[in-house]
Amino acid sequence: MYHSLRGLMYQKLAYFPAAIKEYKKAVSINPYNAYDYYHIIQCYLFLAYNEKEAREALPYLEQYKFYRSNPEKESQKAFFTFFYTFIKQQEKAKEILLASKEKTEEEQAKYRQALHSITRLKYKILQKAYHNPHLSLEKEADIERVLQNPIFDYYEGQRLSKEYGDIFEQKEKPYQENLDTVESLLHSDQQDKLDQIETYVVELNMENQEKAFLILDVALLLAEQNYPNTAKKFLKAAQTLPEKTKEFKNQYQETKAKIKIKLIAKKS
């Protein structure tokens, strides 16, 4: 229990190498705790820079399956969907998706929200790092390596599929083209590029719901390019649009948190 708790503490602080060491000590003492294996798999995935490195977690996955006795939570199913997709075992990922389709609407919503959240882990790790008063240079280097991991950009330009034929699907072409136009303006040398972006987005002829999501994506782009104050302005604009779904509200809160992180980073 001692090493399990220490591993969990390190994992929550995004110190994944240290967390793996503690979890391995835990399973050497008590090999029957399935959740220690589950956490080891998570840490391996967050440290993996490619499919080959991620596959190093597979022996622990077998142990997890062998010792697991309780039903999996939707968040765990979502994690394994993501894991199997990353190591290119699509059929196993689809099995989880199809099983989820047989669940209640509430369980399906939890599963999809958990899957959506996993693709945004980078910002959760950043948030933990910026709020950790005991962050040493050694640990900071560990976190920096994690943040450079391509897994966090694995689904860039994609979104959760509305159907269960595929796990993810490309965003609609017009939506992506509008986002690309905004990004091109953002990277231009024009003095009034922020005003141009605002005018472009305001004049777009789109459904309110789709436009709200686009505004959130634009706000995130602005924050990532060190325009957090302008990003906050777009965030407020998104909030004023009618017909907001639960999915939008969740994404709004996530985007708001990311912009806040950027503001904190800019001040420091």
pLDDT in tens, 219-256: 888 888 888 888 888 988 888 877 667 777 877 888 88
The amino acid at residue 7 is: G
Q: Mind listing the domains of the chain with CATH numbers?
A: 172-268 (1.25.40)
Is residue 96 packed enough to be buried (19+ CB in 10 Å), middle (13-18) or exposed (0-12)? buried
pLDDT in tens, 179-193: 888 888 888 888 889
CA angle 229, 14, 84 (to 5 degrees): 100
Residue 168's SS3 state is strand
Task: Return the minimum-mean-pLDDT range out of 1-5, 35-39, 117-121.
Answer: 117-121
pTM recorded for the entire structure: 0.53
pLDDT at 147 exceeding the cut of 80:
no
| 34 touches 67 (CB < 8 A) | yes
pLDDT, mean of residues 51-55: 85
| DSSP code, position 170 | E
- pLDDT band at 159, cuts 50/70/90? very low
| 90 touches 98 (CB < 8 A) | no
pLDDT, mean of residues 69-87: 82
How many residues are listed for the chain in this entry?
Answer: 268
Q: How many Å apart are CA 47 and CA 161, to the nearest integer?
A: 26
- pLDDT band at 116, cuts 50/70/90? low
Distances (CA, A) of 99 to 35, 45, 83: 22, 23, 16
